[in-house]
Structure 1
Amino acid sequence: MTDAPLNRPPVTAAILVIGDEILSGRTKDKNIGYIAEYLTNIGIELRQVRVVPDSLDEIVSAVNALRSRYTYVFTTGGIGPTHDDITADSVAAAFGVPIDVDPRAVAMLSERFPPDQLNEARMRMARIPEGSELIANSVSKAPGFIIGNVIVMAGVPAIMQAMLDVVGPTLKTGTRILSDTVRAGLREGDIGTALGEIAQAHPQVAIGSYPFWSETGPDTNVVVRSRDPERLGQAMAAVKQMIEQEQSRLRR
């Protein structure tokens, strides 16, 4: 039923969102969903998202916990020119390496700013942990960087997306997870027990139910996910048959 690629271990990822402004609610995060969809489309499974404040200890702890557990860690935020942009310093501390102004980063910034505008604040964006690979930034020129399996990107969505476009083609990927969705026309409680039985019968397929309010009242979408198209089809067929049976029962 399965071939060799389907048996490959998954490539996994975590997102670490950094910033007091996210935790306070002042800034609404727009990066998590974008990164999650991007990774799903290339066969990388997002397993965890964390949000931490602009605190060196908090960032170091989170980076070390996540990088030891997942194939990749994507961080967003905290690499700008202000005093509270401490992500680069924190990542350097997590890896136990020095950090200093990187001539390569200065050259990138010089493409946008003349020498007299490369002030102390902007030069903070050229401080890169030793041993890092730079990520080009076509929007504002200030680079992100990669060290080990940690990919450090800006928090501004347009800049983050530009950086992800640079990094994405270089990433190791796994077998893409396929998905299919059916609208049940029923409440989640109407199908919960039967759906659980189908999930038990198809242990290598992920089945989820997602209630919503439609123009006709409460409804449910059922989503089936698998790397194996054959298993996906079998599980979805069972789900559709169950929905038809439950709709027929309720109409009596």
Structure 2
Amino acid sequence: MTQNAVTAAILVIGDEILSGRTKDKNIGYVADYLTALGIDLCEVRIVPDVEVEIVEALNALRHRYTYVFTTGGIGPTHDDITADSVAKAFNVEIHEDPRAIEMLLVRFKQGDLNEARRRMARIPVGASLIENPVSNAPGFNIGNVFVMAGVPAIMQAMLDNVAPLLQNGVKVLSEIIEVPGIKEGDYGVGLAKIASAFPDVSIGSYPHLTETGFSNQIVVRSRDGRLLKEAVKAVHDLLKELQAQGF
């Protein structure tokens, strides 16, 4: 991560994620989305539907990164406490927001807007609303925190509306180098020396299973095209040297 990088964290909220009942599908999607915008996703936390846990995690993350994206806990049931927890983290009041009521009335008749559904209109004071074209129940933005739904289709639609508000960073360039026939343990020391020589380049080694057995990939990533090219050459030179030695 460079000094001027735009950074982000994801805070996933929900007992159902921690219990395994619901399989998270949002982290990978948000990670890909942010990468395309040149934003570094630096941390992901998963917390239960417990106010003190949400508040502590949110306060830690929002002071550390450029942006925080939360998913989950803004529905109509008693255990959806994200909005209240965010209000507490920012030390502001939370009230039923007439703007959110108007959005809900696009989907629900006035008589169907019962107490449970009106919970989705409770927004921390000072927050901006994030439109939700799928179910009309809005998310919200306060400070550098964007609060979105946990349902993937709804979260994705909200994220599309959030994207224009974000400061984009310089996109990361990457190159994948296939390493057939050479084991990680054989190139590990040499790769570590290359990584040390290029501190502004991210170099990772990733084994994967193919039809013929295990193979390895080395992924080189940098925002600087020149450094990327130099580091990739160094990796290729290392592999050629090892192949010449019979590895």
Find out whether 1:206 has 2:177 as its counterpart.
no
Q: Does 1:155 align with 2:144?
A: no
2:108 equivalent in structure 1: 113
Give structure 1 stretches of 5+ with no counterpart. Answer: 1-6
Equivalent residue of 2:146, what SS? strand
* 2:113 partner letter: L
* 1:245 aligned residue (237, 241, 246): 241
Q: 1:234 aligns with which of 208, 230, 235?
A: 230
Q: Which deviations, in whole Å up to 9, do the C-alpha atoms of 1:80-105 show, x marking residues without a partner?
A: 00000000000000001000100000
Q: Which residue of 1 aligns with 2:79?
A: 84
1:218 to 214, 219, 224: 214
Q: What amino acid maps onto 2:239 in structure 1?
A: I
Structure 1 residue corresponding to 2:27, chosen from 5, 10, 32? 32
Q: By how many angstroms is 1:217 displaced? A: 2.1
What SS does structure 1 have at the residue aligned with 2:231? Answer: helix
Aligned residue for 1:250, secondary structure, equals coil
Contact 1:184 1:222 in 2 (8 A): yes
Instruction: State the shift of 1:152 in Å.
Output: 0.1
Q: Which runs of 4+ in 1 moved over 4 A?
A: none
Amino acid at match of 1:217: G
The answer to whether structure 1 residue 59 and structure 2 residue 63 are counterparts is no
| Partner of residue 117, structure 2 | 122
Shift of 1:8: 6.8
1:203 is paired with a residue of what secondary structure? Answer: coil
Q: Which moved more, 1:196-205 or 1:102-111?
A: 196-205
Cα distance in 2 for partners of 1:249, 1:217 equals: 22
Measure, in 2, the Cα distance between the counterparts of 1:198 and 1:62. 36
Q: Letter of the aligned partner of 2:194 in structure 1?
A: I
Cα distance in 1 for partners of 2:15, 2:197 equals 45
CA-CA distance at 1:249 after TM superposition:
2.2
Deviation, 1:77, is: 0.1
Taking structure 1 as the reference length, the TM-score comes to 0.95
CA distance in 2, matches of 1:213, 1:242: 23
Partner of 2:191: 195
Specify the alignment match of 2:39 in structure 1: 44
Does structure 2 retain, via aligned residues, the 8 Å contact 1:8–1:175? no
Q: CA separation in 2, counterparts of 1:243 and 1:122?
A: 61
Q: 2:76 aligned with 1:71, yes or no?
A: no
Q: What percentage of aligned pairs have identical amino acids? A: 63
Correspondence for 1:23? 18
Structure 1 residue 33: deviation in Å?
A: 0.4
One-letter amino acid of the structure 1 residue matched with residue 168 of structure 2? T
Q: Secondary structure at the match of 2:133?
A: coil
| Secondary structure, aligned partner of 2:42 | strand
Q: Deviations over 1:190-247 (max 9, x none)?
A: 2101111111121211101011222222211100011101110110111112122223
- Coordinate RMSD, CA, aligned: 1.3
